[in-house]
Amino acid sequence: MKKLILVNPAFRGHILGLIGKTLKFANPPIFSVLEAMSPKWDVKVYNQPFKVKYEKGLVGITSFTSNIYRAYKHADKFRKVGAKVIMGGPHVTFRIKEALKHCDSVVVGEVEGVWKQILKDYQNDNLKSVYYGEPKENFWEYYQNGFLKLKDTKKINAIQATRGCKFQCKFCTIHKLYKGGLRKVPIEKIVQQIDSVKPFWRTSIFFTDNNLFTDPVYCKKLFEALIPLKITWSGLASIDIAKDDKLLKLAKKSGCNRLGIGFETVNENVIKSNPGKLNLYQDYLKLIKRIKKHKIKITGTFIVGFEEDTFKSLWKLFVFTLKANLHLSFFSILTPFPGTELFDNVVKERKIKVFNWTKYDGLSLVTEHPSFNRFTIQPIFYFFRLSFLVNTTWGRILFALIILSASAYFW
């Protein structure tokens, strides 16, 4: 039987690597898709591995920017033993020439529409250097039947209902990766997928959509269809979902127990230069209360290090997060990932200080900044992250006071 080896490289050198040592991550959803589309292949999966058996076969490697060097290392070793290596993912989509130094082929964009051709070309020893995965309106049809036939242990509880995002943030690659606009999986197909994973995963489902609330009408129909399934689910949404109280009520009734929401910033100057989803910032606290009223937990994500950020604006952000009292808050440093408008701008303006992709992890400042350098922003960043590991407002305030007192001896 023909051998297909799928690799998702481990994160090394920072907190993601430490987490990876202690937690067993679910396989990336794309691995289930590719396995479903390769029914006559012997498939082996390495998910954030620390040991890999390098052998001949067709190798598919996915990667983000911060672990791309690890991906290249795996690719080089597989090719050394005679394997053919295909690479995909956001980084190589925008760094094709760089990636082709380490692999035989690069998939640019979405893989579903070109995967069968890749398998055919491999068997004919005729792989192309680049495969352009154009957006497909019916992307789900390529893997649906195969996914339903997978063994329970091969399935994952990550379901994609929509592909694409209605926003075009300068610091995000999604709208450039998924160029086909918003595409929606028929709701009856989502119900089939959920029913197929329930025997193994019971009732816990995660929607991998970048923004589940891109189409309110579709959302309403989806939530109504989920109610009879008696599941609990979580996913990502934009804060404007809270403008529709009836939809929130329906989300809760359908099993929603947590929403991840990208608030990003409360700095007015940042918002002026990044129009779109951030325009609701003045209503954030009111909208947060609406979501909490329905007993839906909120995981908020925030970005520090916008060019307009100052010490004063970051203090304002800290006060806001105390008032918001979210269940969890995650912070990252603004990072110009390849493929984003932000990356193009800072390259043009020669503001990038670091081209070591390992540092493009959201934990490091890699550009020039008018108010900060890495020595000043790093303590603030970790202060934010550590403060919000404490799960109560008073606990966070106490922690902040302790840190501020101690800082007199260390800063």
pLDDT tens-digit map of 317-336: 999 998 999 988 889 999 99
Number of domains observed in the structure of the chain: 2
Domain boundary among 117, 133, 149: 133
* 247 located within any domain: yes
Could you give the 3-state DSSP secondary structure of residue 184?
strand
CA dist., res. 81 & res. 78, Å (int): 6
Which residues on neighbouring strands pair with residue 106, listed in sequence order? 87, 130
* 266 and 190 fall within a common domain: yes
Same domain for 110 and 202, yes or no, is no
325 is written with which tokens?
């009292």
Residues 83 and 27 in one domain: yes
CB 59 within 8 A of CB 238: no
Does residue 301 contact residue 172 with C-beta atoms inside 8 Å? no
Q: Whole-angstrom Cα distance, residue 25 to residue 8? A: 11
Domain-embedded: residue 151:
no
Which DSSP letter does residue 48 get? Answer: S
Query: 112 with 175, same domain?
Result: no
* Domain end (from 133, 167, 186): 133
397 inside domain: yes
pLDDT at 404: 39
Do 351 and 282 lie in one domain? The reply is yes
What CATH number has the domain bearing residue 390? Answer: 3.20.20.70
Structural domain boundaries, residue 301: 157-410
* pLDDT at residue 407, as a whole number: 35
CA 205 to centroid of chain Cα atoms: 16
Backbone dihedral angles phi then psi of residue 212, each to the nearest 5 degrees: -65, -20
Q: Which helix (H) or strand (E) holds 287?
A: helix 284-293
Domain boundary (133, 165, 182) is at: 133
pTM above 0.85, yes or no: yes
Query: For the domain that residue 51 is a member of, what is the CATH number?
Result: 3.40.50.280
Q: What is the pLDDT of residue 242?
A: 94
Residue 140 included in any domain: no
Whether 150 contacts 199, CB under 8 Å: no
Are residues 199 and 114 both part of a single domain? no
255 in the same domain as 194: yes
Instruction: Say whether both 113 and 163 belong to one domain.
Output: no
Q: Which residues of the chain have pLDDT under 50?
A: 14-25, 394-411
Report strand pairing: 130-133 vs 105-109: parallel
Question: How far is Cα 395 from Cα 380, in angstroms, rounded to an integer?
Answer: 18
* Nearest to 11, CA basis, from 362, 264, 389: 362
Position 346 in a domain: yes
**Which residues is 239 bridged to in the sheet?**
none
Calpha distance 358→100 (Å, rounded): 19
Amino acid making up residue 92: V
Q: Are residues 249 and 395 in the same domain?
A: yes
- Does a structural domain hold residue 59? yes
Residues 269 and 352 in one domain: yes
Q: Say if 139 falls within a structural domain.
A: no
Q: Which residues contact 235 (CB under 8 A, 6 or more apart)?
A: 206, 207, 208, 209, 212, 256, 259, 260
Contact 246, 219 (CB under 8 A): no
Residues 381 and 339 occupy one common structural domain: yes
**Does 238 fall in a domain?**
yes
Q: How far apart are CA 278 and CA 89, in angstroms?
A: 27
**183 lies in the same domain as 61:** no
